[in-house]
Amino acid sequence: MTSYLIRRFLYAFPLLMGVNILTFVLFFVVNSPDDMARMQLGQKRVTEAAVSNWKHQHDYDKPLLWNSEAVAEKKVTETIFYTKSVGLFLFRFGTSDSGRNIGDDIQQRALPSLAVALPTLLLGLVVNISFALMMVLFRSSYLEQAGVVVCVVLMSISSLFYIIGGQFVFAKVLKLVPISGYDDGFASIKFLILPVLIGVFSGIGSGGRWYRTLFLEEVEKDYVRTARAKGLTETQTLFRHVLQNAMIPILTGVVVVLPLLFMGSLIMESFFSIPGLGSYTIDAINSQDFAIVRAMVFLGSVLYIFGLLLTDISYTLVDPRVRLS
Amino acid sequence: MIILWTDGLICALILSILALGFALRGKEHLQRPLNTIANNSVGMVSLMVLVFFVLIGLLDSVHFKQQGASNEIISALDYWATPLRTQGEKTYSAPFATHLFSKEMMTQADGSTQWGYPRLQFGGQHLSNDSDKLADILQKAAVGFAQGAAIFLLLYFIKVQGARFKVQGKKSGFHLLPFTFYPVPTTLLILITLSCILIHLSGYYHVLGTDKVGEDVFYQAVKSIRTGLIIGTLTTLIMLPMAIIFGILAGFFRGWVDDVIQYFYTTLNSIPSVLLIAASILMVQVYMANHEADFTSVVVRSDTRLLFLCLILGVTSWTGLCRLLRAETLKLREMEYVQAAYALGVKQHTILLRHILPNVMHIVLISVVLDFSSLVLAEAVLSYINIGVDPTTFSWGNMINGARLEMAREPIVWWSLTAAFVFMFALVLAANLFADTVQDAFDPRRGTQ
């Protein structure tokens, strides 16, 4: 177990290196720092001095991969690739193009993101699973067919419409909650209700359908027939046997996304102006702040790989048949 | 005649689908699932709606340079809808309105000024009196309905004649008995008459109103069909070769090939796809800004960006299918018939092409139709974050993005959003229902239910 974890941990490095190289190619090779400088400073009539000044301010005034003017090991270390990559691997994200410290920003904004994403995930899980269980309980009846139709219809509506419609009905017409905004501490609850509810509701379609197929596959198995033959009622078999066994794929599916919750939801946060990492990313994209986007890409990959590791561990915890070796 | 990149690729896609259909005609093992689809009325109805959308999209994919002063690149659909395209208003106007949505200062004939709702330049300009409007709309709708019904009857007549010609004596002609509901012909009737009514009415009114700069919303919604379809289909076209080749090779050769391919797709997968798309689109923007000379026309510019978007979406979305195919190939290569082929000395590439590939095709087909609807939905979200299609391209995402603030107006401007919602919902719902049918028909595990 321990040696497996160490091996998995070491395997994360080549993956992160791959991510780093890919983003490096995207951000520095496809477009040179000169292009970026011109983009930031405005396209036309930029003097050479202004460009080189901007590059110097942002540490972009080194060669990309190989510094032939430096001596010894500095041939490698005095390059954009080396300085930027080492910073990322040590979680020193540096300053954004607008001059703010990215690491501090991320720390501040992770909590609001989590405050939206975690309740949405948990509540969504409960709602989806109960909806799916209801459909399976009433399987091959009109009730199930109606449930499936509702799922397909809900699935076919873009999440944007749920948000716009929800904001319009609950915040503008009924005036139950504020339209958007955020506050510190428990005062934020009234701002969070609507995004969480909308997030849950927009997930019912695909979530309910997915869990339904999971349960249906489980219901056909032999042990369920045995349970029924023992004389258990349908509800007892469903809740005690089927639900428990179906929890394995459900749990592992949830564990993968757990670390990514920190990244927040792009759309939700920007619609409800919640100062989380999602809206941070959107703002960076809109203002074309490459340093932030690069940091977020790297952070997202780290969290995803961490999620994969957690999944493996959770497999051994919930399913005694799986051994890590 | 001008062939844009996306036009050419769509054309290639349709030709290859036709060629595939021709090559696979009459294959016994394909007849059964196809018959299942044909006998499923939900599947056929949704297929019909999809085909209807595709036809509009194709009409919009034939581009040529307009003769005359403007020298714009327009499509066949634009040419057909010239009045809609050119006869705009000043700003917002409600569906079927004859006056602008907002008040402004008007100069009367006698020189005095008045504060009021100005008359539209195009919508309902033939009306002499506003009170005739409802009667006029109903009358125009009736004309449109008559046209639609006539076209439907003509098609129906051709079909009956054709059927009589082919299978003599078989009574396939008496479909449309009164009081019996046939879903497929009914859908066709509804589609044809509805589009005829809308086409006829839009010659006189702004059927779905106008947007902020006075452009016809109905025209925008129809033009967006092509964007949605292209994103849904071209992305799959781009991702399929990668997913199939890598997935099968990894599963078949195992060993270091498998390791390399797995490393490759885990790396790609671990980057949040929205961020990867954002990063790539940012790069495309920088590239375009630096190479302005190559993108002279707005149409070419937005088309290139659309193609790039498909490319990037394809790169981010092939990993899921690749993993499925790898798992299936791992299973298949241990099957007796593959082992037998080995024992008989069949070469590796022949085994791959003849024994493995055809047996994973159902997974490919199912994932293609399943992905379609999610890609159309993804386009809207991406356009909202400004990393989707070019802002000048007509797309439902751009319509929603523009209409977002209109909900806060008093009184609200609801028609842009509603139009985008209805069109998008129709396409995605049809695609989802059709995907379900295809999955039921082709997935061996679900076939018996």
> How many residue pairs from chains A and B have C-beta atoms closer than 8 A?
124
**Domain shared by A69 and A176, yes or no:** no
Lowest mean pLDDT among A71-85, B23-37, B318-332: A71-85
Residue B331, CB-side half-sphere exposure with 13 Å CA sphere? 7
- pLDDT given at position B70: 67
Complete DSSP assignment for A39-84:
HHH-SSS--HHHHHHHHHHTT--S-SS--TTS-TTHHHHSSHHHHH
> Residue A292: pLDDT above 70?
yes
Dihedral pair phi/psi, residue B75, rounded to 5°: -105, 170
Task: Decide if A161 and B400 are in contact by the 8 Å CB cutoff.
Answer: yes
Predicted confidence at residue A325, as pLDDT, reads 59
Query: Do A293 and B287 lie within an 8 Å CB cutoff?
Result: no
Q: Nearest-CA neighbor of A181 among A106, A173, B411, A171?
A: A171
ipTM confidence: 0.85
Please give the Cα distance from B167 to B162 (Å, whole number): 9
Let me know if residue A6 belongs to a domain.
no
Most confidently modeled range among A41-45, A128-132, B366-370: A128-132
Q: Is residue A38 part of a domain?
A: yes
What would the pLDDT profile of B244-278 be if each residue is shown by its tens digit?
999 999 999 888 999 999 998 888 888 888 888 88
B377-412 pLDDT, tens digit each: 988 888 888 888 888 888 998 888 888 777 777 777
d(CA A29, CA A60): 12
The partner residues of B73 in beta bridges, in order of sequence, read B65
Rounded distance between C-alpha atoms, residue B39 and residue B294, angstroms: 51
pLDDT number for residue B177: 47
What pLDDT shows up at residue B426?
93
Note the Cα A103 to chain centre separation in Å.
Answer: 18
Shared-domain flag, residues A162 and A211: yes
Chain A (143-182) residues lying within 8 Å, Cβ to Cβ, of chain B: 152-153, 155-161, 164, 167-168, 172
What are A318's two structure tokens? 């919930």
Do the domain assignments include residue A2? Answer: no
Q: Show the tokens assigned to A103.
A: 């690491």
pLDDT score for B172: 43
Looking at residue B99, what is its pLDDT?
77
Nearest CA distance, B381 vs chain A (angstrom): 7
> What pLDDT does A274 receive?
87
Cα angle value B105/B107/B112 (rounded, 5°): 105
Give the tens place of pLDDT for each residue, B282-293: 778 777 877 777
Percent of chain B exceeding pLDDT 90 equals 16
Cα torsion through A87, A88, A90, A95, rounded to 10: 60
pLDDT digits (tens, 9 = 90+) for A175-223: 888 878 887 777 788 888 899 999 999 999 989 988 998 898 888 889 9
CA distance A152 to A148: 6
How far is the C-alpha of A23 from the C-alpha of B409, rounded, in Å? 42
**Chain B residues bordering chain A (beta-carbon distance below 8 Å):** 263-264, 266-272, 274-276, 278-280, 282-283, 285-287, 289-290, 373, 377, 380-381, 384-387, 396, 400, 404, 407-408, 412, 417, 421, 424-425, 428-429, 432-433, 436
Q: Among positive and negative, which fits the CA dihedral B387, B390, B392, B394?
A: negative
* Residue B73 near residue B1 (C-beta atoms within 8 A): no
- For residue A299, report the phi and psi dihedrals to the nearest 5 degrees: -60, -45
Longest dimension (CA), chain A: 85
Q: Which residues of chain A make contact with B436, given a CB cutoff of 8 A? A: 152
Residue numbers of the domain that contains A306: 105-323
Domain boundary among A90, A120, A146: A90
Are B289 and B211 a contacting pair, CB within 8 Å?
A: no
What superfamily would CATH give domain B5-20+38-66+216-447?
A: MetI-like (1.10.3720.10)
Using one digit for the tens of pLDDT, what is the confidence trace for B61-106? 888 887 765 677 788 888 888 777 777 777 788 887 777 777 777 7
pLDDT tens-place string over residues B199-258: 888 888 888 888 888 788 888 899 899 999 999 999 988 899 999 999 999 999 888 999
Q: Structural domain tally of chain A?
A: 2
B179, pLDDT greater than 60: no
Distance of alpha carbon B420 from alpha carbon B395, whole angstroms: 9
pLDDT value at residue B180? 57
Phi, psi (5° rounding) for residue B64? Answer: -150, 165
Q: Which residues pair with B106 in a beta bridge?
A: B114
Give the whole-angstrom CA distance, residue A115 versus residue A275. Answer: 11
Contact A160 B400 (CB under 8 A): yes
User: What CA–CA distance (Å, rounded) separates B228 from B378?
Assistant: 10
Which residues of chain A have a CB within 8 Å of the CB of B409?
none
Q: Within a 10 A sphere around the Cβ of B207, how many other Cβ atoms?
A: 24
Surface-to-core class of residue B312, CB atoms within 10 Å of its CB (0-12 exposed, 13-18 middle, 19+ buried): buried
The overall pTM is greater than 0.90 = no
**Alpha-carbon distance B11 to nearest alpha carbon in chain A (angstroms):** 27
Quote the CA–CA distance of A17 and A302 in Å, as a whole number.
11
Inter-chain residue contact A158 with B380, CB threshold 8 Å? yes
What is the H or E stretch that residue A313 is in? helix A290-318
Residue A131 clears pLDDT 70, i.e. is over it: yes
Q: What is the mean pLDDT of chain A?
A: 83
- The CATH number that applies at residue A166 is 1.10.3720.10
- The alpha carbons of chain A give a radius of gyration, in whole angstroms, of 25
Confidence of residue A76 (pLDDT cuts 50, 70, 90): low
Listing DSSP states for B59-115 in one string gives HTT-EEEPPSSS--EEEHHHHHTHHHHH---SS-B-TT-SB-SS-EEEE-TTS-EEE
Q: Distance between CA B119 and CA B193 in Å, rounded? A: 30
Please report the pLDDT score of residue B237 as a whole number: 85
Structure tokens at B345: 């000395």
Within 8 A of B373 by CB-CB distance, chain A residues are 155-156
Residue A113 and residue A24 share a domain: no
The answer to whether the CB of B140 falls within 8 A of the CB of B204 is yes
A51 with A41: CB under 8 angstroms? Answer: yes
Q: Identify the pLDDT of residue A197.
A: 92
| Three-class secondary structure of residue A141 per DSSP | coil
Distance, CA of B34 to CA of B85 (rounded, Å): 41
Q: Give yes or no for A38 touching B (CB within 8 A).
A: yes
Q: At what angle do helices B255-270 and B298-332 cross, to 10 degrees?
A: 140
Tokens of B241: 């070769």
Residue B218 to residue B208: CA distance in whole angstroms? 5
Nearest-5° angle of CA B322, CA A246, CA B329?
25
Look at residue B41 and tell me whether its pLDDT is greater than 80: yes
pLDDT category, B168, cuts 50, 70, 90?
very low
- Cα torsion A95, A97, A100, A104: sign: negative
Looking at the structure, do residues A159 and A210 belong to the same domain, yes or no? yes
Number of C-beta neighbours around residue B24 at 10 A: 13
| Residue A239 shares a structural domain with residue A299 | yes
Segments making up each domain of chain B, as ranges: 5-20+38-66+216-447
Q: Could you tell me if A298 and A257 lie in one domain?
A: yes
- Chain A residue numbers with beta carbons less than 8 Å from the beta carbon of B269 are 304
H or E segment and range at residue B116 = strand B113-116
Structural domain ending residue among the three candidates A59, A90, A121 = A90
Q: Do β-strands B113-116 and B104-107 pair in parallel, antiparallel, or remain unpaired? A: antiparallel
| CA–CA separation, A208 and A129 (whole Å) | 7
User: What's the Cα-to-Cα distance from A251 to each of A247, A289, B73, rounded to whole Å?
Assistant: 6, 37, 53
Residue after which a domain boundary falls, among A57, A90, A123:
A90
Both A115 and A85 in a single domain? no
Whether residue A15 and residue B384 make contact (CB cut-off 8 A), yes or no, is no
Place of tokens 């890590």: A324
In the three-class reduction of DSSP (H, G, I as helix; E, B as strand; rest coil), residue A101 is classed as strand
Task: Give yes or no for a contact between A277 and A264, defined as CB atoms under 8 angstroms apart.
Answer: yes
| Sign, Cα dihedral of A252, A257, A261, A265 | negative
Q: Which residue has the higher pLDDT, B364 or A59?
A: B364
- Pick from A255, A170, A173, A159: which is nearest to A201 by CA? A159
Helical spans, DSSP H, in B271-405: 273-290, 298-332, 336-343, 348-350, 357-384, 396-403
Tell whether A240 is covered by a domain. yes
Question: Angle between the A159-166 and A189-219 helix axes, to the nearest 10 degrees?
Answer: 140
Q: What angle do CA B377, A274, B384 make, to 5 degrees?
A: 25
Lowest mean pLDDT among A186-190, A290-294, B123-127: B123-127
B373 near B359, Cβ under 8 Å? no
pLDDT the model gives residue B103: 77
Longest CA–CA span in chain B (Å) reads 99
Q: What is the predicted pLDDT for the residue at B446?
A: 63
Residue corresponding to tokens 């998008």: B424
Residues A81, A62: Cα–Cα separation, whole Å: 9
Phi, psi of B441 (to 5 degrees): -80, -35
Mean pLDDT of chain B: 83
Confidence of residue B174 (pLDDT cuts 50, 70, 90): very low
Residue A43 pLDDT more than 70? no
Residue of B134, B96, B197, B57 whose CA lies nearest to B415: B96
Cross-chain Cβ contact A172/B373 below 8 Å? no
| Residue pair B12/B6 in contact by the 8 Å Cβ criterion | no
The token pair that represents B15 in the structure block = 């030709």
Asked if A159 lies within 8 A of B377 by C-beta distance, the reply is: yes
What count of Cα atoms within 13 Å lies in the side-chain half-sphere of residue B243? 27
Contacts of B384 in chain A (CB under 8 A): 160, 267
Question: Would you say residue B321 has pLDDT above 80?
Answer: yes
Q: How far is B302 from chain A (nearest CA, A)?
A: 18
CA distances from B99 to A132, B116, B123, B407 (A): 50, 10, 8, 20
Distance of CA B42 to the CA centre of its chain: 19
DSSP state of B120: P
Cis peptide before B411 (omega within 30 of 0): yes
In the predicted model, is pLDDT for residue A41 greater than 90? no
